[in-house]
Structure 1
């Protein structure tokens, strides 16, 4: 049976709709502005929808806008972010899964202090590790490279992924692992054949978390990247702050949406696993 529409329920729905419109309003301004030409920007205002739709700002933002001294658009920097994000997310998630497995089902002396020290890494601000990380990358010869950015994000993300997987694996009965040991399953067999197949929800949590953090990061990108390895967030900053004649807000808005689209798509595709994975293990551990 359908629930009756009471006054209190109507008020809740109205408030939710109001909050949704409040948060969607900037997106509307960005989209409408990105489809306007310069004449419409001069004659109208940000709230009016486009009278003549055009995709020229999107084309220019992707392949022709100036980001500093370069005028080849956002495309090369978008690909830099893709080459950075994919390995960083996969490596940090796999290491976090392995750490969580060891800290829960193959406990050893000092496991709790080690987990506490890893957990402290979640609260260390980005700025605190800039100098030691720069020194470390210089010793490895990875400065100003995409590989160096991958290493930075993997190291910083291991604390979060370990925490997520550890809390998830605590909820898996220890008897299941003990039974596998009795049947002759070894360390890696239990990890790959028993725990990994049931880890999809928490993998989605790590994927969304890490992808969002790494893709949207600006500080590491501007500190540890070079001219040819800048991620898209740094390129977007350069695009917005580059002045060559008339300020093209439509191109800036198109570039901002291009930079935000991947994280939006990740949430749409995998968002339903996010809350499920976070709440798994919330009762135990």
Structure 2
């Protein structure tokens, strides 16, 4: 009996230690987010006279309103509103196109095998490890030749092309796990390449579509280097505008506006993960890391 009690006590102590350690790690990890939130709802006097981590004495959303509509970005005090729209106009088509092309590539490489398919897949994978800095000059020259330099359309093209390697990897490894009998049975019934893709493969790949969309949305929305390199002026995405807000100072540093602007820029990715995070994990376990 005493042995059982001692074993239970050790088990309970171990579990308690694990939970306490996890809570501590979570608190440390969430501390920057806490600082951003509480600082964004304080006025400047309270920030300068108090602390960054303390609760606000008086909650105000004036900094949020200023960050959205009137914060100075360079020489223009227009807020993040227009640049937020730029990012939406960039990220939606780029995610859709790169996901669709990746799905087509993965479908072709697995269900319509051809000579050199593995070599082509290896070359596509090479794009996953290619650093951004190595392609800046070739991309800039290509956008100039196409007449897309400095535009949102050019940035859509850049993110679509750069994302194809990742989406192809996701879909190829997912489609490997689907039985080939599906394709063969559809061929016997007279279905062609695109009919099989639209009617069979895409409906069966919803989990990996979610993975691809979340991955691409996060990468594209948070990108700074491509945005600052290939756009300018009013065509820049929100990450570039956020950098300009933080680096523009007139009088006292407006920490509350900076934090509110950072929250505005980060909310879309937080919302995506909150709403679809569980599907992301399901998609990965369903095949994104197989093959």
What is the TM-score of this pair, normalised by structure 2?
A: 0.95
On the 8 A contact 2:67/2:258 being kept in 1, the answer is: yes
CA distance in 2, matches of 1:282, 1:133: 29
Which of 224, 234, 240 is equivalent to 1:228? Answer: 234
1:188 shift after superposition: 0.8
Which of 180, 195, 201 is equivalent to 1:189? Answer: 195
Gaps of 5+ in 2: 1-7
Note if 1:214 corresponds to 2:220.
Answer: yes
Aligned to 2:208: 202
Aligned to 2:120: 114
1:198 shift after superposition: 1.4
Gaps of 5+ in 1: none
Structure with bigger helix share is: 2
Q: Residues 116-265 of structure 1 correspond to what in structure 2 (within 5 A)?
A: 116-265=122-271
1:279 shift after superposition: 2.0
Note if 1:19 corresponds to 2:15.
Answer: no
Aligned to 1:85: 91
1:282 shift after superposition: 6.4
Call closer, same or farther: CA 1:284–1:249 in 2, change over 3 Å: closer
Call closer, same or farther: CA 1:6–1:214 in 2, change over 3 Å: same
1:11 shift after superposition: 1.6
CA distance in 1, matches of 2:118, 2:233: 43
1:6 shift after superposition: 2.0
CA distance in 2, matches of 1:284, 1:173: 14
Aligned to 1:280: 286
Which segment is superposed worse, 215-224 or 239-248?
A: 239-248
CA distance in 1, matches of 2:14, 2:195: 54
On the 8 A contact 2:171/2:208 being kept in 1, the answer is: yes
Which segment is superposed worse, 247-256 or 270-279?
A: 270-279
- Three-state SS of the structure 2 residue aligned to 1:9 is helix
- Three-state SS of the structure 1 residue aligned to 2:232 is coil
Give the aligned CA root-mean-square deviation in angstroms. 1.2
CA distance in 1, matches of 2:25, 2:290: 34
Aligned to 1:31: 37
On the 8 A contact 2:208/2:288 being kept in 1, the answer is: no
> What's the CA shift string for 1:76-95, capped at 9, x where partnerless?
11110000000000000000
> What's the CA shift string for 1:17-42, capped at 9, x where partnerless?
11111111111111000000011012
Which segment is superposed worse, 159-168 or 43-52?
A: 43-52
